[in-house]
């Protein structure tokens, strides 16, 4: 039938139509007139002019909607939402717990992440933990430790090689670098122009310089398919592998091949440019936290490391250990033009003329003064900052040559002063050559003169 209301005509449904359309839940809460007779719900009818009238239906305010709006959500409401996930009960419980810690602030409130996002993240973390446990990268004890301290430690715990990584103490970190690896890091890094500390930090984070016993370090692959002490993926090694020791094989498990291979890959991605080191590391491992960890380890190595002043093939224990003719110092016989490195990081002061000739003084950040004499050329300027292993000059000392100073033959003169007192470089240089970590402050000031 037709009814008029507010100047508009409507086609109203019959009472039988209304009665048949009522759901039991609606009938229980139906409106009544003055005599108690049910009126039923307001009919949804279209105007006679044919225009559509949208349904005025208020959306149900679920915990998901409240989470999206940034309102506090109770644990109970989130649990009700999680029951809708088609998961087995134990898995659902794990997802609940992990997802809660991923998406809640310290006050137990969701901050614009949404309950479904937290559940998805929790499921991913649970899956990673399960796979790591099955693959042997995690022990049940570590899984319980993660549960006790929160999921923020998951990435740190399952990173290959971290179980055997040295502590944050710089001395321990440097001492833990095997002499063979230190030589490989420096040689490979200088070969392509990247900082050796960065290359060494990659080796430290990946497998603790090949000392980790995790799967894939000495044979086979880890859970991600990486191989060797520098953790190459097979396809990457196929392209960047190097026969570093010239034995006719590119062996990803041999550090003599793997370390220069890693340097080749890093430099191909910009590691020889200080502005692109972070990008190169990200290409090595697509993880921002990995880049941060490597750069932090590189800084520690740079601050605490001591390196030999000459290339590996230029001197040996015999030439480093010869007594000095006058006072505690070291005269190391090397050909003119031999590359000379900074033993430790510090600030440069240049020397010209006098007995030293062309020389360099480095006031080390460790409080030690390092003096180099008889250079044929110099690579640093006054006031410059150098890192351990940076090239500072070329050796000289041939009598009559410019910069030779008071010299009787080609050699490098190296002196070290601790608190104004000269100490014997010989015992330090031979210890570093053997891979033993000794500080200049621990060196003696007697017994190295003839």
Per residue in 234-264, pLDDT (tens digit) is 999 999 999 999 999 999 999 999 999 999 9
Q: Please say if the pLDDT value at position 293 is more than 90.
A: yes
Does the pLDDT value for residue 273 go beyond 60?
Answer: yes
Strand order in the sheet with 391-395: 339-341, 391-395, 375-378
Cβ atoms within 10 A of the Cβ of 81, count? 18
Residue 8 pLDDT greater than 70, yes or no: no
Q: What is the pLDDT of residue 29?
A: 44
More confident: 113 or 265: 265
State the DSSP string of 192-219: HT--HHHHHHHHHHHHTTTT--STTSSS
Residue with tokens 């109970």: 76
Mean pLDDT for 265-280 is: 95
pLDDT over threshold 60, residue 396: yes
Confidence of residue 3 (pLDDT cuts 50, 70, 90): low
C-alpha to C-alpha distance for 191 and 441, rounded to whole angstroms: 32
With a pLDDT cut of 70, the percent of the chain lying above it is 61
Are 111 and 120 within 8 A, CB to CB?
no
Is the pLDDT score of 95 beyond 50? yes
- CA separation for the pair 349, 383 (Å, rounded): 6
Mean pLDDT value across residues 182-193: 90
Please give the average per-residue pLDDT across 74-102, as a whole number.
50
In 3D space, the residue among 332, 437, 422, 326 whose CA is nearest the CA of residue 368 turns out to be 422
Say yes or no to pLDDT of 171 above 50.
no
Among the listed ranges 79-83, 153-157, 332-336, which one has the minimum average pLDDT value? 153-157
Ordered domains of the chain (ranges, CATH): 1-53 (no CATH), 63-158 (no CATH), 170-304 (1.10.530.10), 317-442 (2.70.70.10)
Using the predicted structure, report yes or no on whether residue 36 has a pLDDT greater than 50.
yes
Q: What is the DSSP string of 247-296?
A: SS---TT-HHHHHHHHHHHHHHTTTTSGGGHHHHHHHHSS-HHHHHHHHH
Lowest mean pLDDT among 54-63, 267-276, 284-293, 336-345: 54-63
Q: Does residue 272 carry a pLDDT above 60?
A: yes
Tell me if 276 sits within 8 A of 401, measured CB to CB: no
Is the model's pLDDT at 74 over the cut of 50? no
* For residue 43, pLDDT beyond 50: no
Please check the confidence at residue 386 and state whether its pLDDT lies above 60: yes
pLDDT band at 18 (very low <50, low <70, confident <90, very high): low
Give the Å distances, CA to CA, from 81 to 94, 118, 370: 15, 12, 68
Global pTM value: 0.58
The 10s digit of each residue's pLDDT in 405-447 is: 999 999 999 999 999 999 999 999 999 888 788 899 999 999 9
**Banded pLDDT at 303 (limits 50, 70, 90):** confident
Q: What is the mean pLDDT of the chain?
A: 76
The whole-number average pLDDT for the span 43-60 is 46
Q: Which residue has the tokens 């010989």?
A: 426
């Amino acid at each position: 039938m037709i009814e008029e209301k507010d100047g508009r005509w409507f086609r109203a449904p019959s009472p039988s139509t209304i009665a048949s359309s009522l759901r039991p839940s609606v009938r229980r809460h139906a409106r009544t007139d003055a005599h108690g007779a049910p009126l039923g719900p307001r009919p949804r009818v279209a105007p006679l002019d044919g225009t559509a009238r949208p349904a005025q239906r208020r959306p149900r305010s679920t915990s998901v909607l409240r989470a999206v709006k940034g309102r506090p959500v109770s644990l109970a409401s989130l649990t009700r939402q999680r029951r809708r996930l088609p998961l087995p009960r134990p898995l659902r419980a794990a997802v609940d717990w992990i997802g809660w810690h991923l998406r809640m602030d310290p006050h137990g409130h969701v901050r614009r992440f949404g309950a479904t996002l937290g559940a998805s993240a929790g499921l991913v973390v649970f899956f990673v933990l399960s796979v790591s446990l099955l693959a042997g990268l995690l022990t049940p004890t570590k899984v319980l430790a993660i549960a006790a301290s929160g999921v923020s430690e998951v990435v740190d715990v399952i990173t290959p090689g971290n179980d055997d990584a040295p502590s944050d103490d710089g001395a321990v970190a440097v001492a833990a670098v095997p002499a063979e690896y230190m030589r490989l890091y420096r040689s490979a890094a200088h070969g392509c122009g990247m900082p050796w500390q960065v290359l060494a930090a990659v080796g430290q984070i990946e497998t603790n310089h090949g000392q980790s016993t995790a799967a894939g370090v000495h044979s086979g692959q880890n859970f991600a398919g990486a191989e060797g002490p520098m953790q190459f993926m097979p396809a990457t090694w196929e392209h960047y592998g190097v026969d570093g020791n010239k034995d006719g094989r590119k062996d990803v498990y041999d550090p003599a091949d793997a370390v220069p291979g890693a340097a080749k890959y890093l430099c191909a991605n910009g590691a020889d440019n200080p502005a692109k080191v972070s990008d190169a590391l990200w290409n090595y491992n697509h993880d921002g936290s990995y880049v941060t960890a490597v750069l932090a380890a590189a800084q520690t190595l740079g601050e605490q490391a001591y390196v030999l002043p000459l290339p590996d093939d230029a001197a040996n224990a015999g030439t480093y250990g010869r007594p000095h003719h006058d006072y505690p110092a070291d005269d190391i016989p090397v050909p003119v033009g031999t590359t000379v490195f900074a033993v430790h990081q510090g600030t440069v002061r240049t020397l010209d003329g006098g007995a030293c000739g062309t020389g360099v003084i480095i006031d080390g950040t460790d409080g030690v003064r390092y003096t180099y004499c008889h250079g044929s050329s110099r690579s640093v300027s006054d006031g410059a900052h150098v890192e351990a292993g940076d090239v500072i000059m070329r050796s000289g000392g041939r009598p009559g040559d410019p910069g030779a100073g008071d010299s009787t033959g080609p050699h490098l003169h190296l002196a070290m002063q601790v608190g104004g007192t000269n100490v014997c470089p010989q015992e330090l240089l031979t210890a570093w050559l053997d891979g033993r970590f000794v500080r200049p402050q621990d060196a003696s000031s007697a017994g190295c003169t003839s």
